[in-house]
A and B are shown apart, each in its own frame.
Chain A
Amino acid sequence: MRFIVVRLLRGLLTLWFAVTVTFFLVRLLPGDPVLAVADPGMTEELRAKLLADLGLDRPLGAQYADYLNRLLHGDLGVSFRQSVPVTTVLMERLPWTLLLAGSALLVTVGLGVPLGVLAATRARSLTDRVIQASGVTAQSLFVPSVGIFLLVVFGANLGWFPIGGAVDLDATGPAAWLSALHHLVLPCLTLALVQLGGYVLTMRATLVDALGADYVSLARAKGVRPRAVVWRHALRNALPPTAALAGLQLGTLVGGAVLTETIYAYPGVGRAVYEAVGRLDFPVLQGAFVLLAATVVVAGLLTDLACGLLDPRMRAS
């Protein structure tokens, strides 16, 4: 219980830190947010009125206190540019980002763990070398180059997948869900490919160590089947670093989703952030960062809990 409470408090502290940094950071952006809605030749009097309308005329401390207060009541404010609640803006986009990031994580772990196990159990063989070389190569991949490559090959040339968007306009009912999956394949694959190397190499390294441990030798001596030695005994001890990596890479995954969403015209939060930066739409920027930070914190918390379940020593520490 103490383990969960400590992790929860740590998560809340991280979230507060992210909210605070974001609040002050967006206000350091150069430019005048009032220009987004007003005539550049406006009088000082009108500018003052608009700043007051947007709540930007008060001291930063007061704005910050007000923002925290509203945040605690679930109010993320109103978009300067769109004049609609930030919650509405983000909730239209968040599911798509979660779907993309979640499915990419599933695919990455789903491929990364077995490949790491395969390499570790055939350490120093040709298979191991090929997997390791591929893992290192995958780590050097960059979202835009992979995205454009997949798009040109599988979208434009072969025509297997759509070029952009998240669902066909005419699809309804189950066909709409299938269409959403069809649109998800290339963006998901792009994100998975750039993340895969880290999982494969980590899994391999930790499992090679685990396979050399005394308890594994004992299990083998007792006649446990090789497959069971790997999957039941060694893997359980080798998994926590990979699980921790998943938590650490969630931030990268969300960051990668911003680029992926742009290339594949995917309607996620990343695109909303990109557009809000250009328009100096502070409330949307703050709201998006808070939401993404909260997602990463919650996922990190779940990762910690999963690690605790996998390895009781972590709970004790």
Chain B
Amino acid sequence: MRCGVLLAAGALVLMTACGAAPTTSGAPGVAKRGDRLTIGTTADVANLNPLVGNSRTDSWVTNLMYPHLMQMDAAGRRIPYLATDWAYAKDGRSATVRLRDDLTWSDGRPVTADDVVFSVNAVRKERFGVVAGLVTALDEARALSPTSLSFTFTRPDGTFLDNVGFWLPIVPKHVFEKAPSVQRFANDAAWVSAGPYRLTRVERGQRYVMERVESFGPGRPAVKEVVFRVYPDVNTQVLALRNGEIDLIANALPPATALALKGDPEISLVEVPSLGWAHLQYNTRREPLDDVRVRRALAHAVDYPAIREIALKGLASSARSSVLTPTQPDYADPGVHEYAHDPARARELLREAGVSGLSLDLIYDHADPKIARWAPMVRDSARKAGVTITLRGLERNTYMDRTHRRDFDVYAGSWAIMDNPPANLALAFRTGGFLNYAQVSDPALDRLIDQGGRALTREQARAPIRRAARIIHEQVYDNVLYVETLTVAHSARWTGFKPMPSELLSIVNPLSLAAVKPVS
């Protein structure tokens, strides 16, 4: 009893001392309905430095604070944001970008080409975050005027602008350059931002409060205040949505939850196509998986429609066993067909390869509810083809560790976002690519991927990239199972969301949140 009193009393004293006390001095009054949009997320922001933070919540919050050169439309094409237009030189060794002139940082300074150059150079110099791996061809970034800049490359690189334009947040040079290391800069207070919303309050473990920027260049957001509320448990999040404590759930719903919410008149469901895919990869450096006949046998041993209908509850579509999925209409290849589930053909191929009693380990992240559902289906259907698969559901860090060490027979996983096929194929299938988990090394494939990477337009890239994808399909360097249809839920009291592909954007992308408004 005394301990309880002491703990509770200690807590109250600490709350006051640490500023965690539940007093909200200077807080606004109760927001009127329609003035505040409350968004549920499953995790806290890990890092408010947008160049470092890479979790979903990090991106959702910092994307509202820091502009990017480009946004993405529903088909994955780049559309203007801070950049108004961009072009490569004919030889592909340089590019120029023009910027809009009506964006200002929250301290009143204009957003200029110097900020863009600083942001690119910071990640290149210190090599951190996702963008570092995308700027390897960059030789120099130079501001030509406050609203124009140029990039020069060591080799022609047609993927550079799409990659940097979409993935690189632009940070204020005059703030970030004061930090000894941009990578170690916490950016945890006094935020200087230039997005449609500015962060005004952080209560870790609870919420992130953002106010609209009245003078936001591309147009004043309709909603005055956006609040991200943290609910680590998805079931609690759904209850909060049903109870009206939050207005939308930013994370894609598990298929079973999405189906359970269907028909609720208070809730609207939005289907968002995924820019990624779920797949199995076979370690091509291990016998007998180095034999294409064995890999094809394994591809025929998977019951793809059953996985989509049962494990994904129908919320997935076929990718025709191709890495160019239907979400990328500019690249998708209608001439490719999905491997048929055919255990007899699988047995025949294994006989041809002289393999019998094949036994393989399959690793997957056991905390991924979707893969945890379909991995046993892969095992069971493989058994019909005479292949024994032992499932190794691993804790996430162990799984990542074994993946990076390429320590597996079969890898089950999914890409969250593969938005730029020429660049993505280079990362995942080119010899030595850092996402080349299957350890593919195929000179013909490398040449086609390089050719696609050098192409300066989608039209030029399409042919070599399609040929590359056909090789990946035929050689089963990747066994694509499905493209998920992501489902996000919001209260029916709101309208005007602009869905974009991938969970990273969905309906919480800056343009969508700037456009959303209450139902009148």
A-B interface pairs (CB < 8 A), number:
227
Is B519 interfacial (CB 8 A cutoff)?
A: no
Shortest Cβ distance from residue A300 to the other chain B in the assembled complex, whole angstroms? 9
Shortest Cβ distance from residue A62 to the other chain B in the assembled complex, whole angstroms? 22
Contact, CB under 8 Å: B3 / A303: yes
Shortest Cβ distance from residue A309 to the other chain B in the assembled complex, whole angstroms? 9
B22 interface neighbour in A30, A159, A180, A262, Cβ under 8 Å: A180
B4 interface neighbour in A106, A275, A278, Cβ under 8 Å: A106
Contact with A along B469-482 (1 / 0, CB 8 A): 00000000000000
Which A-chain residue is minimally distant from B8 (CB atoms)? A102
- Tally of chain A residues near chain B (CB < 8 A): 82
Q: A99-B12, A171-B22 are in contact. Are A38 and B128 (CB under 8 A)?
A: yes
Contact, CB under 8 Å: A102 / B9: yes
Q: Report A-chain residues with C-beta under 8 Å of the C-beta of B404.
A: 32, 35, 40
Shortest Cβ distance from residue B485 to the other chain A in the assembled complex, whole angstroms? 26
Is B353 interfacial (CB 8 A cutoff)?
A: no
Q: A99-B8, A177-B22 are in contact. Are A83 and B184 (CB under 8 A)?
A: yes
Is A268 interfacial (CB 8 A cutoff)?
A: yes
Q: Report B-chain residues with C-beta under 8 Å of the C-beta of A107.
A: 4
Is A44 interfacial (CB 8 A cutoff)?
A: no
Shortest Cβ distance from residue A107 to the other chain B in the assembled complex, whole angstroms? 8
Q: Report B-chain residues with C-beta under 8 Å of the C-beta of A96.
A: 11, 15, 20, 205
Q: Report B-chain residues with C-beta under 8 Å of the C-beta of A32.
A: 401, 404
Shortest Cβ distance from residue B79 to the other chain A in the assembled complex, whole angstroms? 26
Give the dominant DSSP class at A's interface. helix
Q: Give the CA-CA distance A294 to B28 in the complex, in Å.
A: 38
Shortest Cβ distance from residue A187 to the other chain B in the assembled complex, whole angstroms? 11
Is B272 interfacial (CB 8 A cutoff)?
A: no
Contact with A along B396-439 (1 / 0, CB 8 A): 11101110100000000000000000000001000001110000
Q: Report A-chain residues with C-beta under 8 Å of the C-beta of B181.
A: 53
Q: Give the CA-CA distance A93 to B447 in the complex, in Å.
A: 53
Contact with A along B371-394 (1 / 0, CB 8 A): 000000000000000000000000
Contact, CB under 8 Å: B11 / A99: yes
From A13-21, A68-76, A160-168, the one touching the partner chain is A160-168
Is B47 interfacial (CB 8 A cutoff)?
A: yes
Q: Report A-chain residues with C-beta under 8 Å of the C-beta of B132.
A: 38-39, 42
Q: Report B-chain residues with C-beta under 8 Å of the C-beta of A104.
A: 4
B207 interface neighbour in A159, A169, A262, Cβ under 8 Å: A169
Q: A98-B10, A271-B232, A280-B397 are in contact. Are A39 and B47 (CB under 8 A)?
A: no
Shortest Cβ distance from residue A181 to the other chain B in the assembled complex, whole angstroms? 9
Shortest Cβ distance from residue A262 to the other chain B in the assembled complex, whole angstroms? 5
Q: Report B-chain residues with C-beta under 8 Å of the C-beta of A302.
A: 2-3, 6
Contact, CB under 8 Å: A148 / B235: yes
B-side residues, CB < 8 A to A, are 1-12, 14-15, 18, 20-25, 27-31, 43-44, 46-47, 49, 52, 127-130, 132-133, 181, 183-186, 188, 203-207, 209, 227, 229-233, 235-236, 239-240, 242-243, 245, 395-398, 400-402, 404, 427, 433-435
Q: Can you show 5 pairs from A to B with CB atoms below 8 A apart? A: A37-B129, A164-B236, A167-B24, A246-B1, A266-B205
